[in-house]
Amino acid sequence: MAKAIFGIPFDDEIFMEMWSEAPDPYLTAMIDSGAVVEDGIIAQRIANSGNLYTIPYYDVLDGDDQNYDGQTDITVAEVGGGSQTGIVYGRAKGFFARNFTAELSGADPMGHIAGSIAKYWQKRRQLKLIGILDAIFGITGSTGNAKKWADNHIVDLGSATATPKKIEETDLNDLATQACGDHKDMFSLAIMHSNVAKTLENKQLLEYWKYTDANGIQRRMNIADINGYTAIIDDGVPCVDIGGAGDNKDLKKYTTYILGAGVIRTAKGRVDVPVEAHREPKENGGQDELITRMRETLHPNGFSFKVPSSNWTESPTDAQLFNKSNWEIKFDPKSIPMAALITNG
């Protein structure tokens, strides 16, 4: 007998095709910018099972060259390197008929359902990415790479004084130069709060992307271009209420992240049953349920995830993913095109 869900024929394979093909403009923007990269090596590591994976890295070649004159011996230097550890998280979400009541009036009800679920997971992926970024930018130290990272990749211009510091036209470029010097051209993506975007928009520095909806109406997206960066506007970035005096009593600090080539590595983990339809005859007098599951990794290149000493299961919780204590820096910070700018808007 053919399966049905929410009163419509349901085929797992067709649904999965629709789900995977549903447009994700945010992920597309991140991948097109070069900041997020689908990593084939990681995909191989996690193809069958497991949640922790280790990938090697090699230090940038350095040192003085030698005179090649037919008399001078050539000395060789060992190529240094190490490894970094990433983590796969697994998540699941179930929906029942009431969630999709409005969707079922469409000409393609299963397509509407697939699109709704795709949008749900898109939002969750954005939350994971911002939470992980918040964690690694919380890494500090008094020596070594941790100190270099905190000193050069995080700039706090936010002020609680009578003259709040809002983002200026040159701030992102200045930050990129401070973080990576002559490699600043690696930066390509910015993630910012809508209030920061508003400041840039008022300066006529943002050019928003547009799309045409199903009714042929052109609408603005929360993705824009600014001075060579793709800007994603997301109010999930850190926003801290710092107060102030007088007109500034509601003053806040907003974090804007800028990212460069290949800094976020991603891959899909194994899920044997990513979707299944289910009939629950007792709940609410009987209801149809749709269960979705996913496993993936979003790994900040140059960092390692450390397994917590307590409350650890086969998949990290959001609290564990977003805890700065569970991350450590592995690369020389100058080779990591990631930086954070904190302003009042």
Model pLDDT for residues 189-221, shown as the tens digit of each residue: 999 999 999 999 999 999 999 877 767 788 888
CA-to-CA distance for 8 and 137, rounded, in angstroms? Answer: 47
- pLDDT level of residue 280 (50, 70, 90 thresholds): confident
Per-residue pLDDT, averaged over 84-108, amounts to: 79
pTM: 0.88
Provide the pLDDT for residue 107. Answer: 65
Percent of the chain, pLDDT > 70? 94
* DSSP string across 114-153: HHHHHHHHHHHHHHHHHHHHHHHTT---SSHHHHHHHHHS
Is the pLDDT score of 103 beyond 60? no
Is the pLDDT score of 172 beyond 80? yes
- Classify burial at 85, counting beta carbons within 10 Å of its beta carbon; exposed 0-12, middle 13-18, buried 19 or more: middle
Provide the pLDDT for residue 145. Answer: 94
| 1/295: higher pLDDT | 295
Least confident of 67-71, 254-258, 286-290: 286-290
Calculate the average pLDDT of the chain. 89
Q: Which two tokens stand for residue 120?
A: 């749900």
- pLDDT level of residue 2 (50, 70, 90 thresholds): low
Per-residue pLDDT, averaged over 224-249, amounts to: 87
Provide the pLDDT for residue 319. Answer: 97
Is the pLDDT score of 284 beyond 80? no
* Cβ proximity of 112 and 118 under 8 Å: no
Per-residue pLDDT, averaged over 44-58, amounts to: 86
Provide the pLDDT for residue 100. Answer: 66
Is the pLDDT score of 328 beyond 90? yes
CA-to-CA distance for 158 and 176, rounded, in angstroms? Answer: 18
Is the pLDDT score of 1 beyond 60? no
Is the pLDDT score of 292 beyond 80? yes
Q: Which two tokens stand for residue 296?
A: 């993936």
Is the pLDDT score of 36 beyond 50? yes
Q: What is the largest CA-CA distance in the chain?
A: 91
- pLDDT level of residue 113 (50, 70, 90 thresholds): confident
